[in-house]
Amino acid sequence: MRVLVVEDAQALAEVVAEGLRDQGMAVDIAQDGLTAAAKLGLNPYDVVVLDRDLPGIHGDTLCQMITERDHRAMVLMLTAAGTPGDRVSGLTLGADDYLAKPFHFPELILRIRALARRRPTARSRTLRAADLELDPVRRTAVRGGRPLELSVKEFAVLEALLRAVPGFLSAEDLLEQVWDENADPFTNTVTVTIGRLRRKLGGPAVITTTPGVGYRITEAPAS
């Protein structure tokens, strides 16, 4: 899952981003509306955590811009204005959810995950293919009834591959979805993470590689 945190308070933006990264999300930060608009034009986001009072382009205007896009991100408006009237106003602008500051971080995580599941292209909560099952909310992954102990990035890569079934994801696709804009496109981190994930999944092999195309989960494990 890729998230854009749009918050002009640098310390809060970095704390939120780091906490979401600890949950396996790829997170970018924008501290003003103009930067956020530029990033939205370059990268596909699942959820935008949007502060309402922004310099450059106001959060209300940015929210309307997002909702008018094709294949738009879901918007969680995050603001210090938390009266019922403010909430109604924010939702009227097209925000999908509204959370007032100060907030409890576990609630923020739950709301972001709930929004991601509500996207028109999102699938059901439990992802299944071959003998794999993954629950992004409970953060559990199982193969053939055997619980898998995965790192944050391994879990995120497996989730991305399962969401793409039966299609392929290239290394660039995985960098875009699992890491963030600071990831080095020339790094071998995807290859290394896929290798560790394959070892933890065990045999028979369920992640296949097609040179020049990418990686995918096979519906039936390869013998």
Q: What is the pLDDT of residues 153-208, one digit of tens each?
A: 999 999 999 988 889 999 988 988 888 777 776 678 899 999 999 999 998 999 99
Structural tokens at position 40: 């939205």
Own/partner pairs, 114-118, CB within 8 angstroms, 24+ separation: 115/46, 115/47, 115/74, 115/75, 115/76, 116/1, 116/46, 116/47, 116/74, 118/74
Domain limits, CATH 3.40.50.2300, in the chain: 2-118
Level-2 CATH architecture, domain 2-118? 3-Layer(aba) Sandwich (3.40)
- pLDDT of 223: 45
Q: What is the pLDDT of residues 59-92, one digit of tens each?
A: 989 998 898 887 789 999 987 765 555 556 656 6
User: What is the distance between the alpha carbons of residues 62 and 72, in angstroms, rounded to a whole number?
Assistant: 12
- Looking at domain 127-217, its CATH class is mainly alpha
- pLDDT of 139: 85
- Return the higher-pLDDT residue of 145 and 179: 145
Domain limits, CATH 1.10.10.10, in the chain: 127-217
Q: What is the pLDDT of residues 4-45, one digit of tens each?
A: 999 999 999 999 999 999 888 999 999 999 999 999 988 889
